Structure 1
Amino acid sequence: MLKKLYKIVIVPYTLFLLYLMFLGMGRFQYDDNLITVEPVFSTIKFIQGAKSWQDIVTIVVGNIIMFVPFGFLGWIFPKLSDLKALLFTFIPAITIVEGLQYFTRMGIFEVDDILLNTVGVYLGWLCCRCIEKRFIY
């Protein structure tokens, strides 16, 4: 039941997420191509300069939570049940998306986004394993 629901929801969810990454949340096209390659430090700077805790939750925690569903991709593609295979597939894919944000100037290529999104996928993979152990097997 969960796997069937996931298979139905993941494609529209992915499209919605891509919308948010390129057009949603007040996005606009930057005048220049922007890139942030300081891993972790740029997130720390953002947290220190944030106007409110809501900004921190929206950006930092959102970058993790929004990608948790991709940790369940093994339910559709059995080879992606293996964490290594999942990460070796996800990291290049999210890097391409970040690159598209850079080249279209509809966002900033941020290494921290790649790291936070990957943490989300990993947490999703852990949740998937727990669900499978508890309910399926």
Structure 2
Amino acid sequence: MLKKFYKIIILPFTVFLLYLMFFGMGRMQFEDHIVRIKPIISTVWFIQDTISWFDIVKIVLGNVVMFIPFGFLGWVFPKLNNLKSLIITFVSTIVIIEALQYFSRLGVFDVDDVILNTFGVFLGWQMKRMLETKFRKFVVE
């Protein structure tokens, strides 16, 4: 039952997420191409420069939570049940998306986004494993 629901919802969710990454939340085209490649540094700077804890939680946690559903991609693509395959595929894809943000100037290429998004996928994969183990009858197609 969960697998069927997931297979229906993942494509619209992905389109919605891509919209947010390029056009949502009042995004406008930057004057310059921006790259942030020092891990953790840009997130620390963001936290230091942001007054609102709500904004900090929304951005940092959002970069993790919004990607949890991609940890379940093995339900659609069986080769992605393996964590290594899933992470390699996901990191390759998210780097391409970050590069598109950079080249379009509709975002920033930020290595912290790659790290946080990938952590979200890992959490999703762990949740999938737990669901498959503890709630087998609800997960089966």
Identity of aligned residues (%): 58
Which shifted more, 59-68 or 35-44? 35-44
2:49 alignment counterpart: 49
Consecutive unaligned residues in structure 1, runs of 5 or more: none
Q: How far does residue 48 in structure 1 lie from its aligned partner after superposition?
A: 1.8
Letter paired with 2:128? C
- For residues 49 and 38 of structure 2, the distance between their equivalents in structure 1, rounded to whole angstroms, comes to 16
Q: How far does residue 93 in structure 1 lie from its aligned partner after superposition?
A: 0.1
1:106 alignment counterpart: 106
Determine if the alignment matches structure 1 residue 65 to structure 2 residue 65: yes
1:125 alignment counterpart: 125
Determine if the alignment matches structure 1 residue 3 to structure 2 residue 24: no
Deviations 1:115-134 (A, max 9, x none): 00000000000000000001
- For residues 49 and 34 of structure 1, the distance between their equivalents in structure 2, rounded to whole angstroms, comes to 17
What's the TM-score, normalizing by structure 1?
0.98
- For residues 81 and 51 of structure 1, the distance between their equivalents in structure 2, rounded to whole angstroms, comes to 40
Written as runs of structure 1 = structure 2, the 5 A alignment for 1:84-95 is 84-95=84-95
Q: How far does residue 50 in structure 1 lie from its aligned partner after superposition?
A: 1.4
Deviations 1:48-78 (A, max 9, x none): 2211111111110000000000000000111
3-state secondary structure, aligned to 2:135? helix
- For residues 89 and 135 of structure 1, the distance between their equivalents in structure 2, rounded to whole angstroms, comes to 27
- For residues 18 and 78 of structure 2, the distance between their equivalents in structure 1, rounded to whole angstroms, comes to 24
Which shifted more, 21-30 or 40-49? 40-49
Aligned residues: 137
Letter paired with 2:108? I
Consecutive unaligned residues in structure 2, runs of 5 or more: none
> Post-superposition, which runs of at least 4 consecutive aligned residues in structure 1 deviate over 3 A?
none
Q: How far does residue 42 in structure 1 lie from its aligned partner after superposition?
A: 1.1
What's the TM-score, normalizing by structure 2?
0.95
1:38 alignment counterpart: 38
Q: How far does residue 47 in structure 1 lie from its aligned partner after superposition?
A: 1.2
RMSD: 0.8
